[in-house]
Amino acid sequence: MSGAEAPAATRYEAVIGIEIHVQLRTLSKMFCGCSADVASAPPNSLTCPVCLGLPGALPVINREAVRHVLATGLAIGSRILDITRWDRKNYFYPDLPKGYQISQYDLPLASGGSLAFDTSQGPTSVSIRRAHLEEDTARLIHQVDPDGRRVSLVDFNRSGLPLMEIVTEPDIRSAEAARRYAEELRLLLLTIGASDAALENGQMRVEANVSLRPVGQSAFGTRVEVKNMNSFRSVERAIGFEIARQARALDAGETLVQETRGWDDGRAMTYRMRIKEDSDDYRYFPEPDLPPLRTDPAWLETIRMGLPELPATRRARYQASLGLTPYDAAVIVGDQGATRLFENTLAADPSLPAKKVANWVTGEYLRLVKPGGSRGDGEGGGADGAAGAGTGGAAGGRSGSELRVQPAELAHLVRAVETRKLSGTNAKEVFRRHAETGESIARIVASTGLQQISDETALREAVRAVLEAHPAAVADVRAGKGQAVGFLTGQVMKQTRGQADPTLVQALLRDALAESQD
C-alpha cells in the first residue's frame, strides 16, 4: 500500500493549542466602577470616561478579577509570580476606544499548570502555558438600517469587562480532546465561581490553533487559528473539519498559510477571515498608568484555602469512597445541580446506598433537566467514563433551579423504594410530580394512592380472585406453560392498579398454584 492511500489520521498528527477567553464574575468592570451586569442593560448605558477611553481617564485595578485569576491558577497548579505587570496591546479597530487593550504580556498572573480529564481514548491531561488578565473590547453590531444601508454600531457596555485568557501548550492531539479540555475548564471555572462561562452568549470564547505534521516529525507545521465556535459541539466539529482540510491541502502539495479562520456552523466549514498578525504587530509595551502588581502571599494562601473541592478530586472521591462508576461520577460532577442534589440527598440520609441515589440523579433528575439528553445520548456520554458538559448549554432543557426537587424528599423516595413501600415505576411518577410541584413525597403518595401494596393478606385475596377468574391460564400453568404465570401476575397488577409488589405477587401466585394442585 502506498503512503498516499493510508487515511490522513495515520499519516499526519494533529497539533492543537487552545486559547480561551472568559468573562470573570465581578460586580464592576476591570478598570472602572461601571456595572458588569451587562446582560439586559440597554446599549451604551454602562459606560464612563475610563471604559470609553476618554483622554485623561485613569484605570484602577479590580481586586475581585485578580482574585479569580489567582484562584484559577491555584486550581490548575500554576506558578503565581510575586510581581506581574500590565502591558498595552496596540491595535486599531472600532471596538477598542483607546487604540490599545490593557493586557499582560511577559509577566502573566499565572504561569504553567495542567488540566486532567477523560476522553473516549482514556485519561489525558493538557499543559497550560499561562492565564492572564485583560479587558474586553466593545461589541460591534453589524446590521442593515431601515434605508437599506449597512451600518456598524458600537455598544460600549462590554468595553472594559474583566477577561481572563487561558492558553494551553500545543499538547492536544484530537478534536475530541480539545472539546473535552474546554468542557473540563468550564466545569472548573463554574466550580470555583470565576465565571458563568456560557459559550452561547460569549462569556466563554474558544479559539483553536490547529496544525498538522507528518507522523514521526517533531517540528510543528503551519498553524491556523479557528474562532467563532459557540458550542462545545462546534469546537469539536470545527477542529475536525480543519484537520481534514489541512490534510487534503498537504496531500495536494499545497503550502498552508498562517491565518485566522472562522467556523460557519450552518455550512459546517471554516472560512478565511484574515492572514494572521504576529505578536510584533501589537507593539506591546508596559502600561504606564498602572504600577506592577505585587501578589500578597498571605492573600494567595487565603484564596488557596477557600478553593472548593475541584471536579477531578470529586470524581475520584465518588469512585473511591462511594463506589460510583467512572461514568456516574463524571455525569454527576459534570452538572452543578446534579452535584448539589447528590451531595445533599446523601447528607439528608447518609445510610442510603450512594449508588441508588446516583441512579436517581443521573436518571430521573437529569432526564427532567435535559429531556432526551441524560444517559447514553452519545454526546459526551458512553461507557468511556467521559461525560458531557452539564446543563449549561442544554438546548430545550430546563435549568435544575426550575425544578423543585428537595434533597430530603429525594432521600425519602429512595428509602421508600428500598423498603418496597413504592414500586420502581410508581416512584418515578411520584418523583416527577414532586419535581414539578415541590409537594412532599408523603403527600403525593397519599393523594395518588401510588404506594406499593406489600400487605400479604390483601394481595392473597387479589391472587385468589385472579386465579378464579382465569381457569384457562391456571390450566396452562399446570400444563407447564410458563408464560401463563406472567399473564396471571399482570392480572394481579392490573387489579391493584399497579400498586402490588410484583415479586411478592409472583411468590403468592406460586404458593397458591402449588396449594390448589394438592
Q: How far apart are CA 21 and CA 78, in angstroms?
A: 17
Burial of 90 (0-12, 13-18, 19+ CB in 10 A): middle
Binding residue for ligand ADP, selected from 143, 279, 321, 351, defined by CB under 6 A: 279
Apex 63 CA angle, 305 and 208, nearest 5? 85
Question: By 3-state DSSP, what share of the chain in percent is helix, strand and coil, each rounded to 5?
Answer: 40, 20, 40
With binding defined as CB under 6 A, does residue 211 bind ligand ADP? yes
Pick the closer one to ligand ADP by CB: 136 or 328. 136
Closest CB 87 distance from Zn ion, rounded Å: 20
**Can you read off the three cell numbers belonging to residue 41?**
442593560
**Can you read off the three cell numbers belonging to residue 340?**
448539589
Closest CB 214 distance from ligand ADP, rounded Å: 13
With binding defined as CB under 5 A, does residue 357 bind Zn ion? no
Tell me, rounded to whole angstroms, the distance of Cα 381 from its chain centroid: 12
Closest CB 181 distance from ligand ADP, rounded Å: 11
34 binds, among ligand ADP, Zn ion, none (CB under 5 to 8 A by kind): Zn ion
- Phi first, then psi, for residue 122 (nearest 5°) are 115, -175
With binding defined as CB under 6 A, does residue 261 bind ligand ADP? no
Pick the closer one to ligand ADP by CB: 212 or 444. 212
CB–CB of 304/192 below 8 Å?
no
Q: Which residues contact 304 (CB under 8 A, 6 or more apart)?
A: 74
Apex 230 CA angle, 225 and 234, nearest 5? 70
Q: How far apart are CA 72 and CA 307, in angstroms?
A: 9
Q: How far apart are CA 11 and CA 232, in angstroms?
A: 27
Tell me how many helices (H) and strands (E) the chain has: 17, 17
CA dihedral sign, ordered 181, 182, 187, 192: positive
Closest CB 247 distance from ligand ADP, rounded Å: 14
With binding defined as CB under 6 A, does residue 167 bind ligand ADP? yes
Q: How far apart are CA 273 and CA 259, in angstroms?
A: 8
User: Applying CB under 5 A, which part among 31-39, 128-136, 394-402, 502-510 lies near Zn ion?
Assistant: 31-39
Pick the closer one to ligand ADP by CB: 199 or 500. 199
The total number of residues written for the chain in this structure? 518
169 binds, among ligand ADP, Zn ion, none (CB under 5 to 8 A by kind): ligand ADP
User: Applying CB under 6 A, which part among 72-80, 149-157, 161-169, 304-312 lies near ligand ADP?
Assistant: 161-169
3-state SS, one letter per residue, for 288-319: CCCCCEECCHHHHHHHHHHCCCCHHHHHHHHH
CB–CB of 206/20 below 8 Å?
yes
With binding defined as CB under 6 A, does residue 209 bind ligand ADP? yes
3 state DSSP class of 159:
coil
212 binds, among ligand ADP, Zn ion, none (CB under 5 to 8 A by kind): none
Pick the closer one to Zn ion by CB: 138 or 509. 138
Pick the closer one to Zn ion by CB: 48 or 290. 48
User: Applying CB under 6 A, which part among 60-68, 137-145, 204-212, 306-314 lies near ligand ADP?
Assistant: 204-212
Binding residue for ligand ADP, selected from 28, 124, 168, 374, defined by CB under 6 A: 168
Closest CB 73 distance from ligand ADP, rounded Å: 17
Pick the closer one to Zn ion by CB: 31 or 117. 31
Binding residue for ligand ADP, selected from 223, 315, 370, 433, defined by CB under 6 A: 223
**Can you read off the three cell numbers belonging to residue 234?**
462546534
With binding defined as CB under 6 A, does residue 196 bind ligand ADP? no
With binding defined as CB under 6 A, does residue 169 bind ligand ADP? yes
Residues 15-44 vs ligand ADP: string with x where CB under 6 A?
xxxxx-------------------------
Binding site for Zn ion (CB under 5 A): 32, 34, 48, 50-51
Binding site for ligand ADP (CB under 6 A): 15-19, 167-170, 209-211, 220, 223, 279
